[in-house]
């Protein structure tokens, strides 16, 4: 292909220097309108497209936004990820590319972090990410951490307050008369799992409700793990009246297990989820859940990064720990 159209090609045709072409193409006020127009025409005709590598080299920036996930494979819900990418793409200045990567894959291949980016957005799930976050921050380039509250206070950081969300959840369950409550927890390494579990345990304790340890079963946030965890609980003999699943996917798996074992939901066992995934309003029964404020998290994050990259001090706050809200649907029965 005619890859070789450079500013020099255009310069020759327009009978000017390549400097002028560069200026014209960058809409510099130093170039006469007429020349500018001519150059633009030629560029268009030749289907000129600037060599971003050269531009990046000389301008000391790369036109790349790095988006890091803890793990592309598991944990980050696909819908979160896809919404994320979509929003970033919408809000980012034209000409920027989005480079997707994961800390898990870096760790696995023992690779160093790639420094070619102008700003980074980190969707963090685990404190094991901190090593990498450190490295990103050390570049001095704009970095925004989402999804998980980090220790460092000098970083822009927007997260969901999962602990408080779970408190809300459990208090609702208590109000509905439940006292025998189990939990299916999420991926152990994930901060969200830890916070949700802690919120659960603490709230029961605070209200003087004893927790049956057999009703605390580990899942990994997948639908299947919810199913398996619930099987364990159902085989216990002594059943809870309600199970809090640390995310909606596991709740769906768990409800399916009940169906298979002949327990009706919510008549015999109630369920509470977390996240408010797009399926939770359509499963049977509709899932009562805690709505994770994904929209606010991503919006804040992207806006901030955007400002940072354009060297404006962000109009957003430095850090946010957003309280999730309760979404009452059909999966929790009121006991009398």
* Binding residue (CB under 7 A) for DNA from 6, 114, 164, 299: 6
* Binding residue (CB under 7 A) for DNA from 31, 146, 181, 229: 31
* Binding residue (CB under 7 A) for DNA from 12, 40, 46, 55: 55
112 binds, among DNA, a copy of itself, none (CB under 5 to 8 A by kind): a copy of itself
Output 25 or 198, the one with its CB closest to DNA: 25
Interaction between residue 116 and DNA (CB under 7 A): no
CB 101 within 8 A of CB 68: yes
CB 83 within 8 A of CB 105: no
Q: What DSSP line would sit under 256-274, residue for residue? A: HHHHHTT--TTTT-EEE-S
Residue list 246-305, contact with DNA (CB under 7 A): none
Output the smallest distance, CB 108 to a copy of itself, in A. Answer: 9
Output 62 or 195, the one with its CB closest to DNA: 62
174 binds, among DNA, a copy of itself, none (CB under 5 to 8 A by kind): none
CB 76 within 8 A of CB 47: no
At 95, list the tokens.
Answer: 């000409």
H-assigned helices in the chain: 7-14, 18-25, 33-45, 52-59, 78-91, 103-109, 130-138, 162-175, 191-206, 223-234, 248-260, 294-309
Angle, alpha carbons 228-232-237 (nearest 5°)? 150
Interaction between residue 26 and DNA (CB under 7 A): yes
Output the smallest distance, CB 163 to a copy of itself, in A. Answer: 27
Residues that bind DNA (CB under 7 A): 4, 6-8, 15-20, 22-23, 25-26, 30-35, 50-51, 54-55, 57-60
């Amino acid at each position: 292909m005619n890859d070789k159209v450079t500013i020099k090609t255009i310069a020759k045709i327009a009978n000017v220097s390549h400097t002028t072409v560069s200026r014209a193409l960058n809409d510099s006020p130093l170039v006469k309108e007429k020349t500018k127009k001519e150059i633009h025409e030629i560029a268009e005709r030749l289907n000129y497209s600037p060599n971003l590598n050269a531009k990046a080299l000389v301008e000391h920036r790369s036109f790349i936004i790095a988006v890091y996930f803890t793990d592309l494979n598991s944990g980050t819900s696909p819908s979160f990820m896809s919404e994320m990418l979509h929003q970033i793409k919408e809000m980012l200045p034209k000409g920027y590319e989005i480079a997707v990567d994961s800390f898990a894959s870096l760790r696995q291949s023992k690779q160093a972090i790639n420094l070619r980016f102008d700003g980074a957005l980190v969707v963090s799930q685990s404190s094991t990410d901190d090593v990498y976050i450190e490295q990103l921050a050390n570049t001095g380039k704009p970095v925004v951490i989402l999804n998980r509250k980090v220790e460092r206070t000098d970083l822009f950081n927007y997260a969901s307050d999962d602990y408080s969300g779970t408190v809300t959840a459990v208090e609702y369950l208590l109000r509905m008369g439940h006292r025998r409550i189990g939990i299916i927890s999420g991926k152990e390494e994930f901060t969200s799992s830890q916070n949700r579990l802690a919120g659960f345990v603490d709230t029961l304790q605070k209200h003087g409700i004893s927790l049956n340890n057999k009703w605390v079963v580990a899942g990994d946030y997948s639908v299947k793990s919810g199913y398996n965890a619930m099987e364990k609980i159902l085989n216990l003999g002594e059943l809870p009246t309600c199970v809090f699943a640390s995310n909606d996917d596991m709740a769906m798996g768990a409800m399916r297990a009940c169906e298979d074992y002949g327990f009706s939901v919510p008549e015999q066992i109630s369920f509470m989820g977390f996240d408010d995934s797009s399926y939770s309003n359509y499963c049977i029964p509709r899932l009562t859940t805690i709505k994770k404020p994904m929209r606010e998290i991503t919006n804040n994050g992207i806006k901030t990064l955007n400002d940072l990259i354009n060297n404006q001090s962000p109009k957003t706050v430095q850090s946010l720990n957003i309280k999730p809200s309760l979404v009452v649907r059909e999966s929790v029965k009121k006991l009398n």
